[in-house]
Amino acid sequence: MHGGSDIFDVCIVGAGVSGANIARRLSAYDLKVVLVDKEADVSFGVSKANSGIVHGGFHHNKKYLKARLELQGAMMFERLRQELDFPFKRCGIVVAAMHEDEMRAIEQLYMQGVDNGVIGIEMCSRDRIMELEPKLNPDTVGGLWVPGGGIVEPYRFVFSLVENAISNGVVLQTTFAVSAGLRDGDAWRVEAADGRSLQARYVVNAAGLYADQVSAIFGAEQFAIQPRKGEYYLLDRLTKARPDRVVFPVPTSVSKGMLVIPTVEGTVLIGPTAESATDKRDLATTRAQLDKILSSARAMIPAISEYDVITSFAGLRPILDEDFYIAMSAKVPNLVQVAGIQSPGLTASPAIGEYVKDLLKKAGLKLSEKPEYDPFVVKRPHVKELSPYEVDELVAQDPAWANMVCRCEKVSEAEIVAAVRAGHTTLDGVKYFTRAQMGRCQGGFCTYKIIKIIMRETGLSWDQVSKNGDRSRILKDTL
């Protein structure tokens, strides 16, 4: 370790899926790494609201960096899941053609997939595709089957990456909104809006929607990130419309289209739309777009019913160019740009971690493997996944395992306490970490209990409990 020195080797700006993968990858080496994020918790930006797909490697030509990283990243998920214990399943992807004309586009996707080296990709007749996904509209004429595609819970993936990075020595600083980046000797001084500051030899700009602003703050390249909004509906786990595979329509030139996604946790996600937005904080859903999602999803899976909707939400993708922009800054020293990480960013993110590590090495960062590096997180039990007999054993250690707080998603008090103690001290943080409030009642029954647990575990007073940070306080007064 670097005894005595207060200077970090690397400061990663942005604790989304890119920053988290980079941090965790660097934590294998004898380095001092700090991960900073402007939000109250990690994964609160682009990474929290997306489709949660491990893509199949057939949508993009491999002349693009994003396609190569997608193919490479997709292969890394089995191992990551073993190490990091996050929800991931290779359920496969079907692309459904609703008309004979669309079969030509399917064929092109197939050729591109074969060219990219996608394993197991096949063209399907109507019978074959209906066998693979019986919930499809009987009018489906055929399609594409990509067995390697999968589904992942994106925020749980980020939480696990960050947890593992922290246990391997990475320092996390939340509510750290970078306001200045100045050269200070041969290092960067990174300042936050609240007055905190730190020094680091290298800076990685993985600031998602705000990568353009962060680049400007450091005096690096000028570019503009355009937000593109995607709206989604979430359906109850008891819906009759849940498919076994991720169902894609035939893509258009701008978007992969609106999907039907059987999430790893058992609910069904439909969406996203793709609309240019102007405001990077505009996560509003609109009636017109939401209606579009329902009709588009029903065209592929007719059993989808609006009565199964439990919530809707929107996410923003950071659009820069056709491709990812991952490179050393040509303008300022020792700064890596990781910008424009839109789809398939989640799939590519483990490979982005590798790629950025290699860039830093080429730029002179000394990487020596740390013998004590432990790639595993401690597996956390989830009551929902355990048999009563297994829960009975946990109860012997802590009765809170049998105190059910969230009835819809079956989350015990012990799991909520663990989330809060792991630093997820907002209602949204608890929600994404444990799924409590994420089910059909959307927190109607359990919110007051979670507020009480947060207050009890953190010592926060009633007026400090928030949805997702200081500006979103839950309670206004006390009697």
Partner 1 sequence: MSEELICITCPLGCHLTIERRPDNTLGVSGNRCARGVRYACEELLSPKRMVTATVRICRPFQAEAAACGETGLGSVARLPVRTSQAYPKEGVAGLLADIYRLEVTVPVKRGTVLLADYKGSGIDIIAARSLQV
Partner 2 sequence: MKEMYFDAVVIGGGAAGMAAAQELDQAGFSCAIIEREEQLGGILTQCIHNGFGLIEFKEELTGPEFAERVEERLQGTTIRIFTATTVMEMETTADPKLLYCYSAQWGILRLSCRLVVLAMGCRERNRGNIRIPGDRPAGVYTAGLAQRLVNIEGYVPGKDIVIIGSGDIGLIMARRMSWVGCKVHAVVEILPYPSGLTRNIVQCLNDFDIPLYLSHLTTNIIGRDRVEGVEITPIENGALMHEKAFTIPCDTVLLSVGLVPENELSKVAGVELNPMTNGPQVDSMLMTNVPGVFACGNVLHVHDLVDYVVEESRRAGASAAQWLKGRRPQHEARLKVGANVRYVAPGRVDLQADNKIYLRSLIVKNDALLEVKVNSRVVKSQKKSHIQPSEMIELHLSPKDLEAAIGAPDPLVEIAIN
Residue closer to partner 2, measured from CB, 78 or 392: 392
Strands 411-412 and 187-192: unpaired
Q: Does 452 bind partner 1 (CB under 8 A)?
A: yes
Under the binding rule (CB under 8 A), the answer on residue 421 touching partner 1 is no
Minimum distance of partner 1 from residue 475's CB (angstroms): 13
Residues 350 and 75: their CA atoms lie apart, in Å, by 9
Write the DSSP symbol of residue 61.
-
For partner 2, which stretch binds (CB under 8 A), given 74-82, 96-104, 203-211, 393-401?
393-401
Of the residues 55, 59, 60, 424, which is catalytic?
A: 55
Neighbouring residues of 430: CB distance < 8 A, sequence distance ≥ 6: 416, 419, 420, 424, 436, 437, 450, 454
Give the Å distances, CA to CA, from 230 to 303, 313, 328, 373: 23, 8, 30, 38
Minimum distance of partner 2 from residue 192's CB (angstroms): 19
The nearest distance, CB 411 to partner 2, in angstroms, is 11
Instruction: Give CA–CA dist 431/440, Å, rounded.
Output: 13
Angstrom distance (rounded) from CA 110 to CA 102 = 12
Among 255, 403, 458, 464, binds partner 1 (CB under 8 A): 403
Report how far residue 41's alpha carbon sits from residue 429's, in angstroms, rounded to the nearest whole number. Answer: 7
- Is residue 453 close enough to count as binding partner 1 by CB under 8 A? yes
Using CB under 8 A, pick the residue from 102, 133, 413, 415 that binds partner 1: 413
Q: Which residues ranging from 400 to 439 are in contact with partner 2 (CB under 8 A)?
A: 400, 402-404, 407-408, 410, 412-413, 427
Q: How far apart, in whole angstroms, are the C-alpha atoms of residue 100 and residue 123? A: 13
Does 424 qualify as catalytic in the annotation?
no
Nearest distance in Å: CB 426, partner 1: 18
Q: Using an 8 Å Cβ cutoff, are 193 and 179 in contact?
A: yes
**Interaction between residue 456 and partner 1 (CB under 8 A):** yes
* C-alpha distance from residue 244 to each of 10, 93, 260, 261, 299 (Å): 42, 9, 10, 9, 17
Stretch that binds partner 1, among 89-97, 182-190, 268-276, 450-458 (CB under 8 A): 450-458
Residue 397 touching partner 1 (CB under 8 A): no
The residues that are catalytic are 55
**Binding site residues, partner 1, CB under 8 A:** 403, 405, 413, 449, 452-453, 456, 479
**Binding site residues, partner 2, CB under 8 A:** 234, 238, 281, 283-287, 290, 306, 309-313, 383, 388-389, 391-392, 395-396, 399-400, 402-404, 407-408, 410, 412-413, 427, 440-445, 447-448, 452, 462, 466-469, 471-479
